[in-house]
Structure 1
């Protein structure tokens, strides 16, 4: 099997520019004729969609807290035909939760150590000069199993500024792969869960071209590629089995429902399942020949009026739920509920398959890893199974009158108030499934 080299693009903190530079490198390497396999560290489900556009192939999440090593190894196999792997880190390089999960604390450093991929640090040097080298030195010595290949200087103010910053690195023999000037025009548009979705950014192709031009000019791409190292392989193991929720899966897919992990879809297909997409915003209902309907997360709060008016969608999924299971994650869960109050304070009637009422007018951030012990089965997973995943939303629960779906805890094992809910064949929760921790036979 091909064992392609890889790099991990990380930073000391969020908002250093690592997503923008990762996209730039993916686009530039693709332009150079390389087949690049993108990855994202952690449970983020927005950045991989941008990676996929830049690289021309699906991007997969790598996660030491939520994924088993078998799952992790299987995802590394997705790079078998690639020339190069580029993984984007999450938060700061060493940032993770306090309590280990499957085999680590969810940090990007765990992924670098497990794969052997050297780290390229993206340093926001605005307001710094030689001190930036001290930051890189600290990162280089913080963890012995993580190698810092070098740095890319970001948000450089001028040639003089770049020279001063480079001076500190020259004194300590740390490679500087490039220096990128501030350019507000290349900033990716954002909303409350992160970047505006890839399919919503009409200017994305032009942005990626401009980013590729930028790094081709300001970054030594040949030196960067030379710094990559072959992917480490763990001892042979049985890859985690993926249990699809059904043989034919009706999957909601549009701007309101787009947050589904690529590795889940790949796993469902590999297990022999067929995915049949439908678009609620186009007033489409799930194909009645399917044996399960799955509504993933997304932004129903931005499209609540259109969803409330989509009568064919509503009638179709209600009829479907009379005889077949329906499951919703996060945004899908809210849509299965009775009502949703948008940011302007207007209430919109949802499907009413669950009693859940949610509110975005008085929103509250819910963010972090979760483990869930199922109190009832959901499509693909039996009662008492333990799942690992993530929660990220701003919805406030006004009412949840149905039976709880799961006992859910945060990364520290502290129970959360959000338990999901179930009614008849309909189930849902704010919990995004990443992997199975323990499956009940």
Structure 2
């Protein structure tokens, strides 16, 4: 059992500025001498790296759709020794799936309720004033069991605009924790999957310091700290078991989408993780039991990957006798070819027959439940896995044997089954956890 004390930073919708608030708050509280534990609600593998840069403490995902009680407890225990937890929500506060999952619907509200963390709602008040209070009232009252701390007004145009908006909030009985003036220089760079990766930001430290200064000037940090509340998480400390003892993990700007709880679980169980960089044309560790290629942005580096002969030869040699697995971008890199958005075809590793294209983008997004038809590293045939898919590629050819039957969160079959050929497996979903047998 662990008792936590924290807050949930959420919003009515994506694009309201909650990530800026999150990063600024993490750094501002850290600068006050607090040990701040960041979390991300939902299946996001980009934001935790930004959280780490701001809080200087590793961030972890809570996922109430995919994770059972023991895993949620294991992740909650990452807050041991912290003074306060701050979690960032995904999409809108109540956005989740339609059908009840293993634990719940996967919304940020569910995480806040389970952990006992009051919600701070970041509202973009551009183009409205008193009317913003109606939005805040709706979110406060939609589920009375979700604790609600108040709102931060974002993109306030003028002192008069702030005054009128505060009048509406006062009338609705909504506490205003801060008002952030409109500033065009506070946005984080984005691409088609959302934010760019933290390692790609040209000056992330300066950006985070700027967000913190902005927050200190315009929100009441003492009131925000006082609004934090504690929750109790019971259960065993369960994290994923490693798929092998010595794991060669692709790790660079092309392959970086790995959930932190997976790597922590592997290490905690005694596995050794040996990173290597395909972009630097490094071969995987020759003594590894398994090569794991996570997702990322291989389409942005397809030419370099196609020219990385040392990497590809090492991968092929390993696959002759030992397993190789790829997720999403890693799966594409194991295929025959990847066609970039300009229509240029790039040869990939050729360990699978998969051919993918970004010339005609097709959006794939959502939770996935997979029933394995064949074994993959760490999981036998018949195992049920939970994961998440998010990419814009189109499959042109996938000739190998299907790896799994794959379903969305509502139980509808999806065509992206993954595939297997010899010792090589791949999936379009990013693994979160396996269901208990």
Q: TM-score range by the shorter chain?
A: over 0.9
CA distance, structure 2, for counterparts of residue 116 and residue 30 of structure 1 = 22
Deviations 1:63-115 (A, max 9, x none): 11111111111101000110110000111111111001111111001001100
Query: Aligned ranges for residues 127-166 of structure 1 at < 5 Å?
Result: 127-166=127-166
3-state DSSP of counterpart to 1:95: coil
CA distance, structure 2, for counterparts of residue 314 and residue 138 of structure 1 = 54
3-state DSSP of counterpart to 1:101: coil
The yes-or-no answer on 1:262 pairing with 2:255 is no
CA distance, structure 2, for counterparts of residue 350 and residue 195 of structure 1 = 26
Deviations 1:41-67 (A, max 9, x none): 110111111111111111111111111
Deviations 1:230-252 (A, max 9, x none): 12223xx3343522011010000
The yes-or-no answer on 1:37 pairing with 2:37 is yes
CA distance, structure 2, for counterparts of residue 428 and residue 250 of structure 1 = 16
The yes-or-no answer on 1:372 pairing with 2:364 is no
CA distance, structure 2, for counterparts of residue 238 and residue 219 of structure 1 = 38
Gaps of 5+ in 2: none
CA distance, structure 2, for counterparts of residue 181 and residue 304 of structure 1 = 41
Query: Aligned ranges for residues 207-226 of structure 1 at < 5 Å?
Result: 207-226=207-226
**1:2 Cα deviation from its structure 2 partner:** 6.4
| Residue aligning to 2:27 | 27
Q: How many residues align?
A: 437
**1:281 Cα deviation from its structure 2 partner:** 0.3
Deviations 1:233-283 (A, max 9, x none): 23xx33435220110100000000000000000000011101000000000
CA distance, structure 2, for counterparts of residue 243 and residue 232 of structure 1 = 25
| Residue aligning to 2:391 | 393
| Residue aligning to 2:339 | 341
**1:438 Cα deviation from its structure 2 partner:** 3.6
CA distance, structure 2, for counterparts of residue 244 and residue 233 of structure 1 = 24
CA distance, structure 2, for counterparts of residue 241 and residue 158 of structure 1 = 48
3-state DSSP of counterpart to 1:90: coil
3-state DSSP of counterpart to 2:263: helix
**Does structure 1 conserve the Cα–Cα contact (< 8 Å) formed by 2:122 and 2:152?**
yes
CA distance, structure 1, for counterparts of residue 247 and residue 192 of structure 2 = 30
| Residue aligning to 1:243 | 241
Query: Aligned ranges for residues 412-423 of structure 1 at < 5 Å?
Result: 412-423=410-421
**Does structure 1 conserve the Cα–Cα contact (< 8 Å) formed by 2:4 and 2:232?**
no
The two structures have a TM-score, normalised by structure 1, of 0.98
3-state DSSP of counterpart to 2:314: helix
**Does structure 1 conserve the Cα–Cα contact (< 8 Å) formed by 2:73 and 2:236?**
no
CA distance, structure 1, for counterparts of residue 4 and residue 386 of structure 2 = 29
Deviations 1:218-240 (A, max 9, x none): 01011000000012223xx3343
**1:145 Cα deviation from its structure 2 partner:** 1.2
**Does structure 1 conserve the Cα–Cα contact (< 8 Å) formed by 2:9 and 2:89?**
yes
CA distance, structure 2, for counterparts of residue 50 and residue 105 of structure 1 = 26
Deviations 1:353-384 (A, max 9, x none): 00000000001000000000011111111111
| Residue aligning to 2:195 | 195
CA distance, structure 2, for counterparts of residue 38 and residue 62 of structure 1 = 11
CA distance, structure 2, for counterparts of residue 366 and residue 30 of structure 1 = 37
| Residue aligning to 1:10 | 10
- Which residue among 405, 429, 432 is the counterpart of 1:431? 429
**1:395 Cα deviation from its structure 2 partner:** 0.7
The yes-or-no answer on 1:60 pairing with 2:60 is yes
3-state DSSP of counterpart to 2:165: helix
| Residue aligning to 1:71 | 71
CA distance, structure 2, for counterparts of residue 330 and residue 67 of structure 1 = 21
CA distance, structure 2, for counterparts of residue 417 and residue 2 of structure 1 = 41
CA distance, structure 2, for counterparts of residue 22 and residue 160 of structure 1 = 26
3-state DSSP of counterpart to 2:22: helix
**Does structure 2 conserve the Cα–Cα contact (< 8 Å) formed by 1:16 and 1:122?**
yes
Change (3 A) 1:2 1:107: closer
**Does structure 1 conserve the Cα–Cα contact (< 8 Å) formed by 2:77 and 2:237?**
no
3-state DSSP of counterpart to 2:434: strand
3-state DSSP of counterpart to 1:371: strand
3-state DSSP of counterpart to 1:435: strand
3-state DSSP of counterpart to 2:233: coil
3-state DSSP of counterpart to 1:408: strand
| Residue aligning to 1:101 | 101
Gaps of 5+ in 1: none
| Residue aligning to 2:298 | 300
Q: Which moved more, 1:128-137 or 1:189-198?
A: 128-137
CA distance, structure 2, for counterparts of residue 83 and residue 287 of structure 1 = 40
Deviant stretches of 4+, over 6 Å: none
CA distance, structure 1, for counterparts of residue 59 and residue 239 of structure 2 = 20
**Does structure 2 conserve the Cα–Cα contact (< 8 Å) formed by 1:178 and 1:218?**
yes
